[in-house]
Each structure stands twice: as C-alpha cells, then as structure tokens.
Amino acid sequence: MAKLTKEEVKHVAHLARLAITEEEAEKFAEQLGKITDFAEQLNELDTTNVEPTSHVLPLVNVLREDVAGNGLPHEQMMLNVKEQEAGQVKVPSILD
C-alpha cells in the first residue's frame, strides 16, 4: 500500500474540519503510514477456511424491554429549566 502523503492528510483533516499545522501533517502522515503497513500484514494470513464474521463473540441483547413509564411531573421538570416560554423549554436556535 502506498504511503499517505502530507497533502492527503491535510485534505482529510480539512474534510473533518480539523486545523493542523505542517508539522502535524507530516507527523500524522508518518504515523498513519505505520498503521496501514501494520494492517497490510493481515493480507499475508491464510484465511481460506475462516468464515467471515462481524464480531468475534456472539452478540446478545442485554437491553431491558422498552416499556413506557411515568416521567416527572411537568412542573417539577420545569424547575430545572434555564429558560422557558409558554410552558416549553426554550433552547437556542441552531439554524441560520
């Protein structure tokens, strides 16, 4: 596998909205290169008789049954609200 370049690291950082310096881009390119080299070693393993799996252990649902219950009374819940309007929780607008 080809080594990651500094420009590729900077591009991915830009897509992730991360600000990185030239030194960090160089450092991350080297570190990510080592990680991909290590992952590439897995291609050397013989997996002809190994069945594909998504998890090494069987998954078991440990969640409780979803049953509706009584919540806090409205008046008690509103005691902890910073801002309210017309009996509703008022939150900052997130849309421009």
Query: What are the pLDDT tens digits along the chain (96 aa)?
Result: 568 899 999 999 999 999 999 999 999 999 999 999 998 998 899 989 988 888 888 888 888 888 999 988 999 989 989 999 998 999 988 886
Tokens of 68: 């509706």
Break the chain down into helix, strand, coil percent, rounded to 5. 40, 5, 55
Contacts of 22 (CB under 8 A, 6+ apart): 6
CB atoms within 10 A of CB 6: 16
Q: What is the pLDDT of residue 26?
A: 94
